[in-house]
Amino acid sequence: MTPAPFTDYVVGLLPEIVLSVWAMVVLLVDVFQKGDRSGPSRSSITALTAVGLVLAAAANLVLARLPAGEMAGNIAIDGFRIFTNFVFLLAAAFFLLISDRYLTRENLRLGELYVLVLFATVGMMVFAGTTDLMLIFIGLELMSVPVYVLTGVNRRDVRGAEGALKYFLLGAFSSAFFLFGVALVFGTTGTTNLGSIAQTIGVDGIGASRLLLVGVALLAVGFGFKVAAVPFHMWTPDAYEGAPAPVAGFMAAAVKAAAFAAFLRVFLTAFPGLYDTWDAIAIWLAILTMVSANLVALVEGNVKRMLAYSSIAHAGYLLVALAAASALGVASFLFYSLVYTIMTMGAFAVVIAVAGQQEARLDLDAYSGLGWQRPLLGAAMTVFLLSLAGFPFTAGFIGKVFLLRAAVERGLLLLAVVLVLASLVSYWYYLRLAWYMWFREPNGATAQTAELSTGLRVGLATAAIIIVGLGVFPGALIAIVERSAATLLRLPAAGLGLLP
Res. 499: pLDDT tops 60: no
Q: What is the mean pLDDT of residues 3-13?
A: 71
Percent with pLDDT over 70 in the chain: 89
249 part of a folded domain: yes
Range of weakest confidence among 181-190, 204-213, 415-424? 204-213
pLDDT at 496: 37
Cβ neighbours of residue 400 closer than 8 Å, sequence gap 6 or more: 317, 336, 390, 419, 423
34 part of a folded domain: yes
Range of weakest confidence among 37-41, 103-107, 272-276, 311-315? 37-41
Q: What is the pLDDT of residues 355-408, one digit of tens each?
A: 877 777 778 888 888 888 888 888 999 999 999 998 999 999 999 999 999 999
Q: What is the mean pLDDT of residues 324-333?
A: 90
Res. 494: pLDDT tops 50: no
pLDDT at 497: 38
Count Cβ atoms below 10 Å from residue 431 Cβ, excluding itself.
15
493 part of a folded domain: no
Res. 434: pLDDT tops 80: yes
Tell me the residue range of the domain where 333 lies: 6-488
302 phi, psi to nearest 5 deg:
-95, 120
Which comes out higher in pLDDT, residue 235 or 94?
Answer: 94
Which comes out higher in pLDDT, residue 67 or 94?
Answer: 94
Which comes out higher in pLDDT, residue 72 or 349?
Answer: 349
Res. 206: pLDDT tops 80: no
Domain count, the chain: 1
Residue 203 banded pLDDT, cuts 50, 70, 90: low
The one-letter amino acid at 280: A
Q: What is the pLDDT of residues 441-469, one digit of tens each?
A: 776 555 445 567 788 888 899 999 999 99
pLDDT at 127: 93
275 part of a folded domain: yes
Q: What is the rounded distance in angstroms from the CA atom of residue 465 to the CA atom of residue 253?
A: 18
Closest alpha carbon to 75 in 132, 122, 130, 124: 130
**Helices (H), ranges, 390-453:** 395-409, 413-439, 444-449
Res. 50: pLDDT tops 70: yes
Q: What is the rounded distance in angstroms from the CA atom of residue 26 to the CA atom of residue 52?
A: 9
Which comes out higher in pLDDT, residue 234 or 300?
Answer: 300
495 part of a folded domain: no
Residue 200 banded pLDDT, cuts 50, 70, 90: confident
Q: What is the pLDDT of residues 116-125, one digit of tens each?
A: 999 999 999 9
Query: Which DSSP letter does residue 364 get?
Result: G
pLDDT at 72: 53
Q: What is the mean pLDDT of residues 224-232?
A: 87
Q: What is the pLDDT of residues 298-312, one digit of tens each?
A: 988 888 889 989 999
pLDDT at 69: 55
Measuring CA to CA, how many Å separate 289 from each of 26, 225, 283, 389, 401?
39, 12, 10, 16, 19
Q: How many residues does the chain have?
A: 500
Q: What is the mean pLDDT of residues 337-350?
A: 92
Measuring CA to CA, how many Å separate 215 from each of 41, 129, 206, 218?
46, 21, 16, 5
Q: What is the mean pLDDT of residues 463-479?
A: 91
Range of weakest confidence among 219-223, 237-241, 468-472? 237-241
Q: What is the rounded distance in angstroms from the CA atom of residue 490 to the CA atom of residue 197?
A: 16
Res. 40: pLDDT tops 70: no
Q: What is the pLDDT of residues 133-188, one digit of tens each?
A: 999 999 999 999 999 988 888 777 777 788 888 888 888 888 999 999 999 999 98
Residue 332 banded pLDDT, cuts 50, 70, 90: very high
Q: What is the rounded distance in angstroms from the CA atom of residue 24 to the CA atom of residue 36?
A: 18
494 part of a folded domain: no
500 part of a folded domain: no
Res. 262: pLDDT tops 90: yes
